[in-house]
Amino acid sequence: MKKFSVVIAGGGSTFTPGIVMMMLDNLDRFPIKKLKLYDNDGDRQGILGEALEILLKEQAPEIEFSYTTDPETAFSDVDFCMAHIRVGKYAMREKDEKVPLRHGVFGQETCGPGGIAYGMRSITGMLEIIDYMEKYSPDCWMLNYSNPAAIVAEACRVMRPESKVLNICDMPVGTLRRMSQIIGKAPEELEVRYFGLNHFGWWTSVKDTEGHEYIDQIRNYVSEHGYLTQIEVDTQHTDPSWQETHKKAKDILAVTPDYLPNTYLKYYLYPDYVFEHMKDHPEFTRANEVMQGREKTVFDHAQQIIAKGTAEGIAFDIDAHATFIVDLARAIAFNTHERMVMIVENNGAIANFPDDAMVEVPCIVGTDGPEALTQGKIPAFQQAMMVQQVTVEKLVVEAYVENSYQKMWQALTLSKTVPSAQVAKELLDDLIIENAGTWPELH
The radius of gyration of the chain from alpha carbons, rounded to an integer in Å, stands at 21
Binding track over 168-207 against ligand NAD, x by CB under 6 A: -xxx------------------------------------
Give least dist CB 174 to ligand NAD, A: 8
Does 379 sit behind a cis peptide bond, omega within 30 degrees of 0 on the bond before it?
no
Give least dist CB 148 to Mn ion, A: 9
* 3-class secondary structure, 284: coil
Q: Is 351 exposed, middle or buried, given 0-12, 13-18 or 19+ CB atoms closer than 10 A?
A: exposed
Listed residue (99, 73, 168, 6) closest to 439, CA to CA? 99
Number of residues forming the site for ligand NAD (CB under 6 A)? 27
Give least dist CB 162 to ligand G6P, A: 26
Binding track over 381-420 against ligand G6P, x by CB under 6 A: ----------------------------------------
Q: Does 169 bind ligand G6P (CB under 6 A)?
A: yes
The question of whether 400 is a catalytic residue gets the answer no
Instruction: Indicate the residue whose CB is closest to ligand NAD.
Output: 12
Distance, in Å, from the CA atom of 57 to the CA atom of 38, rounded to the nearest integer, reads: 19
What does each C-alpha distance from 111 to 119, 144, 283 come to in angstroms? Answer: 10, 18, 19
Query: Considering beta carbons, is residue 36 or 121 the nearer one to ligand G6P?
Result: 121
Binding track over 146-185 against Mn ion, x by CB under 5 A: -----------------------x-x--------------
The question of whether 264 is a catalytic residue gets the answer yes
- Residue in 126, 290, 328, 386 binding ligand G6P, rule: CB under 6 A: 290
Q: Does 82 bind ligand G6P (CB under 6 A)?
A: no
Query: Considering beta carbons, is residue 267 or 409 the nearer one to ligand G6P?
Result: 267
Distance, in Å, from the CA atom of 357 to the CA atom of 340, rounded to the nearest integer, reads: 19
- Residue in 5, 7, 8, 10 binding ligand NAD, rule: CB under 6 A: 10
Give least dist CB 184 to ligand NAD, A: 26
Give least dist CB 141 to Mn ion, A: 19
Distance, in Å, from the CA atom of 165 to the CA atom of 83, rounded to the nearest integer, reads: 10
Binding track over 226-265 against ligand G6P, x by CB under 6 A: ----------x-----------------------------
Q: Does 129 bind ligand NAD (CB under 6 A)?
A: yes
Distance, in Å, from the CA atom of 323 to the CA atom of 184, rounded to the nearest integer, reads: 20
Distance, in Å, from the CA atom of 62 to the CA atom of 18, rounded to the nearest integer, reads: 19
Burial readout 301-338 (b: 16 or more C-beta within 10 A, e: otherwise): bbeebbeeeebeebebbbbebbbbbbbbbbbbbeebeb
Q: What are the beta bridge partners of residue 345?
A: 358
Query: One-letter amino acid identity for 365?
Result: V
Q: Is 239 exposed, middle or buried, given 0-12, 13-18 or 19+ CB atoms closer than 10 A?
A: middle
Q: Does 41 bind ligand NAD (CB under 6 A)?
A: yes
- Residue in 4, 8, 15, 97 binding ligand NAD, rule: CB under 6 A: 15
Per CB under 6 A, residues contacting ligand G6P are 109-110, 147, 169-171, 236, 286, 290
Per CB under 5 A, residues contacting Mn ion are 169, 171
